Structure 1
Amino acid sequence: MSEATEYLIKNINKTFEIYNAISKMETEVLSKFDKNIRESFPSWVKGEWISPEEENLHEDYCINIIRKEWSYQNEKKDTKSYIWTYDRK
């Protein structure tokens, strides 16, 4: 068994504390980034665009920004897009 694994097992409570702290920090940081991006994108994207909240940084690691006329709502009232565009530079 590796030295690192052995340390983690011997210090299982500390290991969980560290894991939970990192997870909480990730959620907080990504939630704040998500909120700031959603609040600011109308200023840097021209036209009528929407950003559905079903997909967000802290759960999906992405934010969708969709033209209103390219979107629809499914039976669960989730906003979906007819067309997906990607910038592959």
Structure 2
Amino acid sequence: MANTPQSKKRARQNERRYAVNKARRSRIRTFLRKVEEAISTGNQEAAAEALRLAQPELARGVTKGVLHKNTVARKMSRLSSRVKALAAA
């Protein structure tokens, strides 16, 4: 348990950051789920639109330190290739 004033303050800050990061991660997952659902329906226009809306959220997750940049790059690449494959099919 935190004893010194500084460690108590750090504990408070950590709780606040945890809540913010959790909300941000949840928001990102929601956008990703919408893309996945659009892909599963086979609607290329809806999937492309969902991906277009999800990309800034993913990028924001990187800048805020919630996700690693390579993780986001991999997710964007895989999703965009799946959306592109819908157009070909």
Fold in common (TM above 0.5): no
TM category, shorter: 0.3 to 0.5
TM-score by length of 2: 0.42
More helix by share: 2
Compare relative contact order (CA 8 Å, sep 6+) and give the higher one, 1 or 2. 2
TM-score by length of 1: 0.42
More strand by share: 1
